[in-house]
Amino acid sequence: MRILHIVSSLNVGGAERFVLDLAVEQISKGHSVSIVSMGRKGESLESEVKANNLHLFLTTNVFQLMALFRQYDVINIHSSHCLLRSLLASIFCSSRIVYTRHNARVHFSARWKFIYKLAYFKLHKMIFVAEKARLNYLKVYPSFEPRSFTVLNGISPINPKKHVMSKVRIGIVARFVPLKSQHYLIEAIACMSCTENIALEFFGEGELLEKNKQLCMDLIPKLEVTFHGLVSNRDLIFNQLDILVVTSETEGLSLAILEAMSSRTPVIASNVGGNPELVTDEFNGYLYEYADIQKLADCIKILTQNAKLRTKYGENGYNRYNDHFSMKICANEYLKSYS
């Protein structure tokens, strides 16, 4: 099968990382796989795409996309930012058009209602990465129900070499953009009375990076805090984390949580989107209501003070990942959806 994946960029992000893992797994099964990026040349994941022998095209031109689409059996769109151009490019081609929605937000504007009317005539399947996201979407666009499917995200294995450190390392892996809400972790730590055994690790870049650095200086000036910037090597990231925290306002099916589960790292996550499909309270971590910094602080306190509990939750998460969220399982489900 000839498969073309379309992403808005090759910057490090959950959807972009997922597409790369999925494409590599599809190649291993004997399929011909390429990627179109509508971003810029030289973005952080571009070298990994080429290292995995994936064909890469950089374009936003509808006519170039038209010519490309005719060469593939399946066009898998992975970003709402790419949807309209891809739909226009697909008008005169017979390829199966599949759209994967990687987040839980539902578009309501007149512009999006027009785009989804066009999508209704061209989409072969619409894939959601969490069942809750699918059901929320269908409340607004019920006509897509017969072509809507939930395929839970998967990731390739992560094998970090965790080292025992003097402090418990708590971290967030996410871009510094409003919906990721990293400031709530900083505020939660600030309201804790005992933080001598804690260190904070932030991975990612973005528009709110400097604002969060300043917040750390204002609220927790004595705490050990490291802003690592953009790190694409997942083994290196999870070498340095004992607990992953997800403070997001909304999520599809979080790749960061899946990576934590794969690396035997317990998770504390906001109870939004697909997070409760991955994290079960007091099994592989804790859920708390979004923006409830006191509850977040309470969860952090419990886990930082109990190494055996961290190990138990980490193992439980790994077993859940291995049984349900490996990339092999996910890739098989995608191939079924392409038929």
In the chain (339 residues long), the average pLDDT of successive 10-residue segments reads: 95 84 94 95 88 93 96 96 96 94 88 93 93 92 94 85 85 96 98 94 96 98 96 91 96 90 96 93 97 98 96 96 91 93
Cα of first residue to Cα of last residue in the chain, in angstroms, is: 10
Query: Under CATH, what is the fold of the domain 168-324?
Result: Rossmann fold (3.40.50)
Structural domain spans, the chain: 2-150, 168-324
pTM assigned to the model: 0.78
Whether domain 2-150 has CATH 3.40.50.720: no
- In this predicted structure, what is the pLDDT of residue 197? 94
Q: Which tokens go with 42?
A: 């030289």
- In this predicted structure, what is the pLDDT of residue 45? 85
- In this predicted structure, what is the pLDDT of residue 156? 83
Same fold, 2-150 and 168-324: yes
Beta-bridge partner residues of 98: 76, 125
Q: Which tokens go with 256?
A: 């960061």
- In this predicted structure, what is the pLDDT of residue 43? 87
